[in-house]
Amino acid sequence: MRVLVAGAGATGGYFGGRLAQAGRDVTFLVRERRAARLASRGLRIRTPVGETRLTPQTIQSPAGAYDVVLVAVKSHALDTVTASLGPAIGGRTVIIPLLNGMRHLGTLTSAFGPEHVWGGLCMIHGTLDEHGDVVQMTGLHRLVFGPLDGGPDDRLDAVTTALTGAGFDSRASRHIVAEMWEKWVLLATLGAATTLMRGAIGAINAAPGGPEFLRALTAEVIAVATAAGHPPRPPARELLDATIASTEPTTSSMYRDLVAGLPVEADAIVGDLVTEAGRHGVPVPLLAAARANLAVYTDSRAT
Ligand SMILES: NC(=O)C1=CN([C@@H]2O[C@H](COP(=O)(O)OP(=O)(O)OC[C@H]3O[C@@H](n4cnc5c(N)ncnc54)[C@H](OP(=O)(O)O)[C@@H]3O)[C@@H](O)[C@H]2O)C=CC1
Ligand SMILES: CC(C)(CO)C(=O)C(=O)O
């Protein structure tokens, strides 16, 4: 199976790199500067247990169809990458986005049709270092994917074979929309809390009023997801409760971006939940404050 990974950043570089390392036919769709960096340094992946260096196949525009396209760009790059993907999409191509939030499903489905777009999510604490090398900061590395309607799909077995057994946790799901919402709830809580408080979950829990703040924010996010028809199921609730109670320096990719002065996915991760809350009449003062905080940050970057 030919796999195209659009974006060779923290997530695309990690999961695409691991697939390539496992001998899968992987090509990265990258822009000029990233292509030059990958050509000179290779794709280096640093993990808590060691470092790998690969020589990745890269292209700057697709010239033919792929069987699987993993979309691994930030939400602000989605329109541009979507516009460039056309030639990569053949009759049976499956597009699996790794983006956080849900809005990208609409963008991809409008551009390519529902028959091509599956759901997907990844769990990793990843970043790029000053050399552009991929850094997996903890042992977490999970990929989940599946048809949006959960129904049978004659491409599922081949896609599953292509994306599993490559040195990270990976599985197909018949409930991918529920799993994406559950991940969104977790990530929005983490992202809103850490960016608003400018600190990790452990530091927030050590602050006076910090645990109460985290519990109140979590309750808001769960209330929105529940009103939208996607209440997190018990295992997701348990993970969320454990995450917000943590004393560890747990952060989110949005927090790491903010601290680095990079653009943040404010609308896709937090803003859309506030909009959803408004639609259902759910009061979300803390989430709204997190959205305002991110808007101030975004405006300050522009000036
Ligand atoms: N990092 C993490 O820990 C996690 C991130 N996520 C989610 O995954 C998604 C991707 O995030 P992440 O991998 O961290 O982001 P990164 O910023 O690390 O990587 C995104 C990559 O996309 C590339 N890109 C942007 N526009 C284009 C384009 N038009 N064509 C080709 N490549 C392009 C950028 O390359 P260039 O160098 O050219 O700018 C960059 O390398 C986000 O939605 C994020 O929320 C999910 C789980 C964990
Ligand atoms: C849930 C978490 C923290 C890990 O995958 C994440 O998705 C992120 O940091 O963007």
Task: Give the pTM.
Answer: 0.97
Q: Which residues have CB under 6 Å of ligand 1? A: 6-12, 29-31, 33-34, 72-75, 77, 80-81, 84, 98-100, 122, 124-128, 253, 265
Q: What is the pLDDT of residue 261?
A: 95
Question: What contacts 99, CB < 8 A, 6 or more positions away?
Answer: 71, 72, 73, 74, 75, 78, 265, 268
Q: What is the pLDDT of residue 302?
A: 87
Amino acid (one-letter) located at 289: A
Q: What is the mean predicted confidence (pLDDT) over 297-303?
A: 92
187 lines ligand 2 (CB under 6 A): yes
Q: Three-state DSSP class for 68? A: strand
Instruction: Tell me the pLDDT tens digit for each residue of 76-106.
Output: 999 999 999 999 999 999 999 999 999 999 9
Task: Supply the range of the domain harboring residue 297.
Answer: 179-302
**Pair 266, 130 in one domain:** no
Burial status of residue 84 (CB atoms within 10 A of its CB: 0-12, 13-18, 19 or more): middle
Q: What is the mean predicted confidence (pLDDT) over 18-25?
A: 98
Whose Cα sits closest to atom 24 in ligand 1?
A: 7
**Pair 161, 184 in one domain:** no
Q: What is the pLDDT of residue 106?
A: 98
Q: Answer whether residue 8 shows pLDDT above 90.
A: yes
End residue of a domain, out of 149, 174, 199: 174
Give the confidence band of 236 by pLDDT, cuts at 50, 70, 90. Answer: very high
d(CA 197, CA 54): 38
Q: What is the pLDDT of residue 283?
A: 98
Instruction: Tell me the pLDDT tens digit for each residue of 120-148.
Output: 999 999 999 999 999 999 999 999 999 99
Largest CA distance in the chain: 57
Q: Would you tell me how many other CB atoms lie within 10 Å of the CB of residue 115? A: 14
Averaged pLDDT score across all residues of the chain? 97
94 and 30 Cβ atoms separated by less than 8 Å: no
**Pair 206, 129 in one domain:** no
Q: Answer whether residue 229 shows pLDDT above 90.
A: yes
Give distance in angstroms: CA of 100 to centre of ligand 2.
Answer: 8
**Pair 101, 132 in one domain:** yes
Give CA 61 to chain center in angstroms. 23
Q: What is the mean predicted confidence (pLDDT) over 174-189?
A: 98
d(CA 88, CA 181): 28
**Pair 34, 109 in one domain:** yes
Judged by phi (left if over 0) then psi (alpha if -120 to 50, else beta), residue 244 lies in alpha
**Pair 128, 13 in one domain:** yes
End residue of a domain, out of 156, 174, 192: 174
Residue ranges in the chain assigned as alpha helix (H): 10-21, 32-41, 78-84, 103-112, 156-163, 176-197, 201-206, 210-227, 234-244, 253-259, 266, 272-280, 285-302
93 and 66 Cβ atoms separated by less than 8 Å: yes
How many distinct structural domains can be found in the chain?
2
Give distance in angstroms: CA of 199 to centre of ligand 1.
Answer: 22
**Residue found under tokens 């960096």:** 37
- ipTM of this predicted complex? 0.98
Q: Answer whether residue 168 shows pLDDT above 90.
A: yes
Q: Answer whether residue 303 shows pLDDT above 90.
A: no
**Pair 15, 146 in one domain:** yes
Instruction: Tell me the pLDDT tens digit for each residue of 283-294.
Output: 999 999 999 999
Give distance in angstroms: CA of 260 to centre of ligand 1.
Answer: 14
269 lines ligand 2 (CB under 6 A): no
Check which CATH number belongs to the domain holding 107 and give it. 3.40.50.720
Q: What is the pLDDT of residue 195?
A: 98
